[in-house]
A and B are shown apart, each in its own frame.
Chain A
């Protein structure tokens, strides 16, 4: 850490930049496949976000600690081994404690290994920075990914199934008696893409510096 204090301005921006200005999903457009696949309901999305936060932070710290000993020719393999071990831990924990969600996420837990956001942060950040900074960077990016996932899942579950986290919100509010119907399209993957698109649209309306000038 040396000359930087624990929460210097630079360190803080490592944490906050990926939430908005440099969001891995909406700005870098990474990790889209999982954002489409597991956002039908809130619960799997939340579990997925937590898993990615865990894997990302620990992997970033571990790779950062080893960065001086990893021969650069085999660095990708080393990173993969680190991520894969962590994903196996996550997978086992999920199977032990939330079996139903684990079944629902199925292959997508395993696919965290190939999540481009994680590989990208290891390659672009952890290999060149100290463990503390890498930890903050991992946390920031995983949160940036997670909040988009949860936001998309919120709208898809609310409009598509009328529930939130399994709780029948709309039924309790009594809107079905007014003739309201669940929107079946929200459950299909194309609407996840449209929802992400609308989030990007709103983000760019608020944040003019993201707009390209060509």
Chain B
């Protein structure tokens, strides 16, 4: 580490005011603060201090995603070798998945960080760490076979239109990772749905790489007649986007997020509750395969759990008040199931439900704060009268 510090210190004068590369200071700053604790001190006034800053928050989220990443890589391999009917060991699966996942990750980070650095330098801001999490989330919610240039285009769209035009990290209305996925979903639907994209090698004859949701939305078979059962979906031995298949890996991530205090347990809990109650309600109706799927199954298939744990809890785009988080969570779950059962063209309702509620989050907060103010004002009136 000493070596890095020496290198950084020796080039520092070029980047400071008056130096040759003054304009690139945000880029230098980003590297320095990424590697070392910054030596900036506050100069005036009292500041609230906490051991946890943006960088450590983001690092914890990435840590919480690790189970999903590892399982996702293994599952890519497992699904592939199943599709071509070849026996494979645990490590063969993992290594195959690693080489499939790595390009997605590299493209996501390289393109996203290039855009972030460009904007930071042109605006003279410091580079924010927000993209560290988005850049990891994006490959996890993509099908394994998505063409890399499409991934790059959607990352550029998500970072520029979803985030930078609003002012960068912390100012965005929509979750950037989901914006990327939604863009890809609407721009290149044939690469984001159907039965060929979720498993590498699914074009082999006689093999269907449909996701559970895709199969159910087609309405030709119901949950009980499917190839997979609840145990498969719980552990994640099913086709789907890279990181979303394993419920147990997502639960591990949720535990890390909740115990470190980074993800809101209210949002996670009430999203599941909202989804469960809505699905229960539709069970009574039950006119198509998705409506009659048992309520608890709805929570473990598709991207519901992944969205509830890693996307809905995004501290920037979710509601900020505690009551707001309850309403927000319930509605995310509600809309996810409603979109699932009513619109066979969009079997994955979670993405749209979260984006939709992202838009309403500030409104929910506004009314909760207003009502709180009103309540407290009415108390003073009683006291004075």
Contact = CB atoms under 8 A, between A and B. Distances in A.
Interface in B162-201: 165, 183, 186-191
Interface stretch (A99-107, A122-130, A176-184): A176-184
A169 interface: no
Contact of B188 (A184, A194, A201): A184
Contacts, number: 23
B91 interface: no
A112 B191 CA distance: 39
A197 B165 contact: yes
B161 A185 contact: no
A178 to B, nearest CB: 9
Which bucket holds chain B's interface residue count? 10 to 19
Question: Chain A contact residues: over half helix, strand or loop, or mixed?
Answer: helix
B38 to A, nearest CB: 32
Contact of A185 (B147, B149, B186, B191): B186
A186 B161 contact: no
B147 A184 contact: no
Nearest to A194: B161
A195 to B, nearest CB: 10
A130 B34 CA distance: 66
Interface in A178-214: 179, 181, 183-186, 188, 194, 197, 201
B165 A179 contact: no
Nearest to A201: B165
B187 A186 contact: yes
B121 to A, nearest CB: 15
Contacts of B281: none
A200 B193 CA distance: 34
Interface string A71-89: 0000000000000000000
A181 B153 CA distance: 12
A151 B312 CA distance: 37
B172 to A, nearest CB: 15
A68 B323 CA distance: 62
B204 interface: no
Interface string A19-44: 00000000000000000000000000
Chain B contact surface mostly: helix
A183 B149 contact: no
A179 B186 contact: no
Nearest to A180: B149
A201 B161 CA distance: 11
Given A179-B147, A179-B149, A184 B165 contact: no
Given A179-B147, A179-B149, A184 B161 contact: no
B165 A181 contact: no
B150 interface: yes
Contacts of B187: 183-186
B356 to A, nearest CB: 13
Nearest to B161: A194
A188 B185 CA distance: 12
A183 B188 contact: yes
Contacts of B165: 197, 201
Q: Which of B153, B188, B189, B190 has the most CB of A within 10 A?
A: B188
B145 to A, nearest CB: 13
A184 B149 contact: no
A184 B150 CA distance: 12
A63 B213 CA distance: 61
A184 B185 CA distance: 9
Given A194-B161, A197-B165, A201-B165, A181 B188 contact: yes
Interface of B: 147, 149-150, 153, 161, 165, 183, 186-191
23 contacts: A179-B147, A179-B149, A181-B147, A181-B150, A181-B188, A181-B190, A181-B191, A183-B153, A183-B187, A183-B188, A184-B186, A184-B187, A184-B188, A184-B189, A185-B183, A185-B186, A185-B187, A186-B187, A188-B186, A194-B161, A197-B161, A197-B165, A201-B165
Given A184-B187, A188-B186, A194-B161, 8 more contacts: A181-B191, A183-B153, A183-B188, A184-B186, A184-B189, A185-B186, A197-B165, A201-B165
The 5 closest A-B pairs by CB, nearest first: A185-B187, A185-B186, A183-B187, A184-B187, A181-B188
